Structure 1
């Protein structure tokens, strides 16, 4: 109600664009923070368990996240601070789930996991979701990793926001 009075808007009317832009930017930033926390915890876990050799510390960002410049830049800040490189396919390769499904298939083919030959296609089990790799979420939780969250304050600079909006 206070906001309605502040902007002289009554129920059912459209809120001013600058308020809408602020709401959208706040939502996008909250999503970026959530994703960055998940990425940071995953990297902390991988480092703790020595899952990735120092010379192979790369993170691939794909899908919708790779198409969002702000979120991609936020994840890049986390990776830079944790000494990881970020790899991002061109946006036109990130919007089609078929490409990501094909990549999953290629990775499975590479390790010969869940690959069926022509003579045993009748026993093929159809899955709505196809996992890639081993689910480590329970072990990550049990590890009780405490993170000192990496600051994303460099994203607040006006010139960064303008660059991301204009691009």
Structure 2
């Protein structure tokens, strides 16, 4: 099964070709990603309108490179999978509309996908990750703990009640004048810093459940930064290290609570852009070692947004017979909000007039 994957949910224009073998193995034939960091650098964050326009300009060429690098033609493909949400709706619209056009022009199955499902199944592209497993999804827009028992079978155990982990890294980087992308910049600065210099809070330490919170930690970082007059490079490094340590401990502490809810698994999959952070990975490795669990993380290039994970999730859905009928797929509208799974109590945490948050 040969699938083209298209990902445009935020500021990365991505396309990939993936083959799913008869035995369920994944072969990634190409994975093209065009990052937009330079387009947004002057604004201190992603500007949705600029991101959408950039996708319009770059997506056709990105798809062309992915097909050419894979050594295939559109006639060889079985399906095209595309992110249909959640994300910046302008970017999602560009990718999904392009996927519909490709499907119509070449007579291919269309598989609209939840972006979070791409992350949820990404480890299965390159690692031995049988179901069930506990997923810690940490990215710029999402921080969730999800019980994954199969393709399309997801139960949300915890989510952020305010800000996402990646967003807090981005804001910390901006506050410290480190630039973008925030996650790698903070990690680089923290490498020469003292993580014990600033006493930052440990969010929700006595809170029941598995939810996360990063807004108070961001506030504490801002107050610590404002207390420094003419901060030297070492001050910035120390504050970056202190923040990174606090964020990693918070993620590990809440994950430990979720691990207790599914002891039958013994496997923790960490996905999303923040999963590439070495300090967080080390903290989670220690947690899993102490609990006799196995930690599974995709290679860094498949942690951040990419087309391969979308193509693979589409292939997994097709193989499981869970892809929508073609007419329904073609009629699906892009979604800014699209939860992968609801909370176990049926609540709608973070819901609003546009629907529940992801």
TM-score class, shorter? 0.5 to 0.7
How many pairs does the alignment contain?
A: 122
Equivalent residue for 1:159?
none
How many angstroms does 1:20 deviate by? 1.1
Decide whether the 8 Å contact of 1:32 with 1:71 is kept in 2. Answer: yes
Q: Residues 89-114 of structure 1: CA distance to partner in whole angstroms, max 9, x if unpaired?
A: 1112222254444455455445545x
1:116 equivalent among 324, 336, 347 = 324
Decide whether the 8 Å contact of 1:62 with 1:89 is kept in 2. Answer: yes
CA distance in 2, matches of 1:78, 1:35: 11
Residue 135 in structure 1 maps to residue 342 in structure 2: yes
CA distance in 2, matches of 1:131, 1:110: 23
TM-score, normalised via structure 2 length? 0.30
CA distance in 2, matches of 1:99, 1:39: 27
CA distance in 2, matches of 1:32, 1:23: 14
How many angstroms does 1:30 deviate by? 1.0
CA distance in 1, matches of 2:316, 2:251: 24
Q: Residues 19-70 of structure 1: CA distance to partner in whole angstroms, max 9, x if unpaired?
A: 11110001001110111122111111112xx5x3xxxx22121222221000
1:98/1:126 Cα in 2 relative to 1: closer, same or farther (>3 Å)?
A: same
Equivalent residue for 2:237?
21
Cα RMSD of the aligned pairs, angstroms, is 3.1
| Bigger strand share | 2
1:135/1:121 Cα in 2 relative to 1: closer, same or farther (>3 Å)?
A: closer
CA distance in 2, matches of 1:36, 1:78: 7
CA distance in 2, matches of 1:83, 1:110: 32
- Name the SS for the 1:89 alignment partner: coil
2:251 equivalent among 25, 35, 59 = 35
| Bigger helix share | 1
2:305 equivalent among 83, 88, 96 = 96
Residue 126 in structure 1 maps to residue 334 in structure 2: yes
- Name the SS for the 1:46 alignment partner: coil
More displaced, 95-104 or 115-124?
95-104
CA distance in 2, matches of 1:68, 1:75: 11
- Name the SS for the 2:262 alignment partner: helix
TM-score, normalised via structure 1 length? 0.58
CA distance in 1, matches of 2:257, 2:280: 17
CA distance in 2, matches of 1:118, 1:39: 38
CA distance in 2, matches of 1:109, 1:135: 23
Unaligned ranges ≥5, structure 2: 1-223, 347-358
Decide whether the 8 Å contact of 2:273 with 2:305 is kept in 1. Answer: no
CA distance in 2, matches of 1:129, 1:109: 23
CA distance in 2, matches of 1:101, 1:111: 15
Which is greater in Rg? 1
